[in-house]
Amino acid sequence: MVAVKKAAVEKKGKVVLAYSGGLDTSVAIPWLMDQGYDVVTMTADVGQQADNMDEMNEKAIKTGAVSAHMLDLRDEMIDNFIWPGLKANALYEGIYPLNSAYSRPLIAQALISIAQQEGAVAIAHGCTGKGQDQVRIEVCANALDPSIQVLAPVRDWHMTREQEMEYAEKHNVPVPTTRMSPYSLDDNLWGRACECGVLEDPWNKPPKGAYGLTVDPLEAPDKPALVEITFEKGIPVAIDGKKMNSIKLIDHLNKLAGDHGVGRIDMVENRLVGFKSREVYECPAAVTLITAHKALETITLTKDVMRVKGDLDRKFSELAYEGCWFSPLMDAIQAFIDKTQETVSGTVRVQFYKGQAVVEGMKSPNAIYRYDLATYSEGDTFDHAASVGFIKVWGLPIKTWTQTHNKGKIVFKSSIKDSKLAQKKPPKA
C-alpha cells in the first residue's frame, strides 16, 4: 500500500472540551486535534464519586490538551440548581429528582465561560446522539452564547468501542485503567443514574451491581434512624439542630439515608428524544429532602398557593428535564416559587427505615396549621354553627341542577343485592 501523506489540516482555533478522563472524552482530544483544533479541557467537580480528580488536568495535558481547567462547581450546583429544584419539589414524571438533568446546564455554563476566557471558537461534549444530555448541553450553551459553536465528537465519529481503543492506542491516549462498567453511569451530589445493559429489559430486576450509593432495603438495619431537618425559606440549613454547610448536609443525608436503603428509584421514563427508557436512580438525600420540604409546605402555604405551585412545580421539572433551564419561562416560574418560599421555614423530623423516609413530625414559626381550629377536644374555636349557611351556599349549584333536571330519584346506579334489613316486630294485637 502506498502511504498517503496526510494533508495539513486547516487551523480552526481553540475548542473547550468537557473532559471526564473516560475513554470517550480522552479519545476526543486527539480526534479534535485531527480536525484542526487546539484542545482546552474542562473538568467539573459536581460531587461525583471519582477518586482520580486531581490527576485529571495532568492527564489531559499528557493526552494533547494545550491547557486544562478543573472547576469545583459543587456550591454552584447546589445554590443554582439543587436548591431551586428542592423549592419546586422537582420530580420528573413525579419520580426522578433530576440529578443528571441539573448538571448539564451547569456544565454548559462552565464550558462557555472557559471558552470566553480562552478565546475559543467552540465547545465540545462527549454525549452520544441518543440521550438528552446532548440536548441539554447544546440548548443551554446556545442560550448563553450563540456565537460559540458546539461540537459533539462521539456523535460524529461513528467508531465502535474496538475502533476507539485502536484509535486511542495509535494516538498514545492513556486508556482508563478502571474496568468498564456494563452500565452508563452518571453521578453527582444529588444522586446517581444507571442505565443500559440488562436494565434495558424492564422485566429484569436490577442486579446488585447496578447500585452504588444505597443498601438493599432488605439488608438495611432493623433499627430505624431519625433525623431533624431545619429549613429556612425552603432551603435546609441544619441537621439535628446543628448548622451545616450545603455540601456537608447533602453528603450526610446521602450516607445516612443510603445506609437505610432510602432513595432507590427504578422507573421507565419518557425521554425528550421520543422513546421510553428504563432508569435506575439512587438519590437518598434528594428523596429525603423533597419529602421533608413538601411536608413543611403543607403547614406553611395556603391551599390555593399549594395548588398553583403544584402545577408550576411540574412545569419546572419538565423544563429542567428538557434542557430549557435558561429560558424565560423557567425564570418566571422560579420567581413565583421563590416568593412562595418566604414562609417555608421550620423543622421536619424524618424516620429512615428499610428503604422508606417517612415524615413523623413537623413544626414552623410560620405555621398556618392552627390547633384551636383543628382540635376535636377542649379549646376548639371553630364556629360549628357557621357550617349550616356555608353548606347551603356551597352546595347550591349542585342542588339547583338536580332540582332542574329531576335527577334526584335514582340514588344507586345498580341495585344493592346483599343488603340486610331488620325491622321491629309490630306489637301483637
- Which grid coordinates belong to 321? 428535564
Give Cα 104 to chain centroid, integer Å.
11
- Please say if 184 is a catalytic residue: yes
Is 25 one of the binding residues for ligand ARG (CB under 6 A)?
A: no
- Is the separation of the CB atoms in 229 and 350 below 8 Å? yes
- Is the separation of the CB atoms in 82 and 305 below 8 Å? no
Which residues in 164-255 belong to E strands, given as ranges?
184-188, 191-195, 225-232, 235-239, 242-243
- Count of residues of this chain found to bind ligand ARG when the rule CB under 6 A is applied: 11
- Is the separation of the CB atoms in 301 and 159 below 8 Å? no
Nearest distance from C-beta of residue 132 to ligand ARG, angstroms: 4
Is 100 one of the binding residues for ligand ARG (CB under 6 A)?
A: yes
Residue with smaller CB distance to ligand ARG, 277 or 347: 277
Residue with smaller CB distance to ligand ARG, 100 or 214: 100
Residue with smaller CB distance to ligand ARG, 24 or 297: 24
Applying CB under 6 A, the span of 54-62, 182-190, 256-264, 311-319 interacting with ligand ARG comes to 182-190
- Please say if 192 is a catalytic residue: no
Is 63 one of the binding residues for ligand ARG (CB under 6 A)?
A: no
3-state secondary structure of 260: coil
Nearest distance from C-beta of residue 357 to ligand ARG, angstroms: 22
Site track 119-148 with ligand ARG (rule: CB under 6 A), x = hit: ------------xxx---------------
Catalytic residue among 133, 186, 187, 313: 133
C-alpha torsion sign, points 313, 142, 39, 157: positive
Catalytic residue among 74, 104, 192, 264: 104
Is 188 one of the binding residues for ligand ARG (CB under 6 A)?
A: no
- Please say if 51 is a catalytic residue: no
- Is the separation of the CB atoms in 65 and 92 below 8 Å? no
The two counts, helices (H) then strands (E), for the chain are: 15, 14
Backbone angles phi, psi at 128, to 5 degrees: -85, 180
Residue with smaller CB distance to ligand ARG, 50 or 185: 185
Is 193 one of the binding residues for ligand ARG (CB under 6 A)?
A: yes
Nearest distance from C-beta of residue 196 to ligand ARG, angstroms: 8
Catalytic residue among 20, 24, 246, 364: 24
Q: Given candidates 17, 39, 44, 101, which one binds ligand ARG under the rule CB under 6 A?
A: 101
Nearest distance from C-beta of residue 104 to ligand ARG, angstroms: 8
Nearest distance from C-beta of residue 182 to ligand ARG, angstroms: 13
- Which grid coordinates belong to 346? 421550620
Backbone angles phi, psi at 427, to 5 degrees: -60, 140
Site track 271-300 with ligand ARG (rule: CB under 6 A), x = hit: --------x---------------------
CA dist 354 and 350 (Å) reads 13
Residue with smaller CB distance to ligand ARG, 270 or 400: 270
Nearest distance from C-beta of residue 204 to ligand ARG, angstroms: 17
Q: Given candidates 184, 327, 334, 356, which one binds ligand ARG under the rule CB under 6 A?
A: 184
Nearest distance from C-beta of residue 412 to ligand ARG, angstroms: 48
CA dist 89 and 112 (Å) reads 29
- Is the separation of the CB atoms in 350 and 291 below 8 Å? yes
Q: Given candidates 195, 282, 297, 313, which one binds ligand ARG under the rule CB under 6 A?
A: 195
Catalytic residue among 184, 314, 327, 338: 184
Kindly list the catalytic residues. 24, 104, 133, 184
Binding site for ligand ARG (CB under 6 A): 100-101, 131-133, 184-186, 193, 195, 279
